[in-house]
Amino acid sequence: MQQPLPTSVPIVRPSPRPSVRARDLLLVVALTVALVLLVRFLVRDQVRSAEWIIPLLALQSAIPLAAVYLVIIRGRGLSWRDLGLRPISAGWLLGAIMLGIATVFAIGFVNYLSQSIAGGTMRNPQIDILAPIAMSWRGLVGLLVMAGVVAPIVEEIVFRGVFYAWLRARWGVPVGAFVSAFAFALAHGIPILIPALLVQGVILALVYERSGSLWAPIVMHGVFNAVMSLAMFAALSAGAKLA
């Protein structure tokens, strides 16, 4: 006969893992928007200054990451691994690099179609912002670090690790990939680039879905940004006018 458990020994049941809620996402967005606007207001006279461009980009990248840490990591008791920062295989690492290069051509084609439909010449306003640092090797290094490393890590944690994961859990992969990609495109604030960024965002979400690790879309995103930054730097340094 099975002996009953001693009454002095409690039965401990595992508590459910805390989950991200809709209000957490809204709080992350609100904190990010408020702090970015505050920073831009405080340094509005230095926005076009060459020596301020990289520090301002770094600060703007730190703000959403800090919001995610405060609201989701600390607030919900989750870890960075829970948000997708898990190891990936060498095969996925190589695949992410190749996909990053391939998307340069794919996104270029989407931009070409957008330009053809809109008519006229498409001008990326990011070029005008970064032009003051295009004549310096120090500017190139800073740009590559920001565009190829910092920005992909932050954007993939926010848009794929947080927003896509939350949407996917409720409405599935197609809705999660499209809506998170649309938010990713809108967040860049460049209307003419929305179609290309939407396509890129969907691809990044699917890469995350297949690989199970944010490092795959981070590497893919970083390679894409690095290639585009080098191309922009080379053209501006040579005095070419990018369209």
Output 232 or 196, whichever has higher pLDDT: 196
Alpha-carbon distance of 141 to 115, in angstroms, equals 30
Q: What percent of the chain has pLDDT over 90?
A: 47
Averaged pLDDT for residues 11-24: 60
Domain extent listing, the chain: 86-237
8 A C-beta contact, residue 83 and residue 28: no
Question: According to the model, what pLDDT value does residue 64 have?
Answer: 92
**Residue 73 identity (one-letter amino acid):** I
pLDDT reading at 54 higher than 80 = no
Question: According to the model, what pLDDT value does residue 173 have?
Answer: 94
Q: Which of 5-19, 94-108, 132-146, 207-221 has the lowest mean pLDDT?
A: 5-19
Question: According to the model, what pLDDT value does residue 13 have?
Answer: 36
Alpha-carbon distance of 70 to 35, in angstroms, equals 14
Question: According to the model, what pLDDT value does residue 32 have?
Answer: 87
**Burial of 162 by CB count in 10 Å (0-12 exposed, 13-18 middle, 19+ buried)?**
buried
Averaged pLDDT for residues 64-76: 92
pLDDT reading at 49 higher than 70 = no
Q: Is 18 left (phi over 0), alpha (psi -120 to 50) or beta?
A: beta
pLDDT reading at 113 higher than 80 = yes
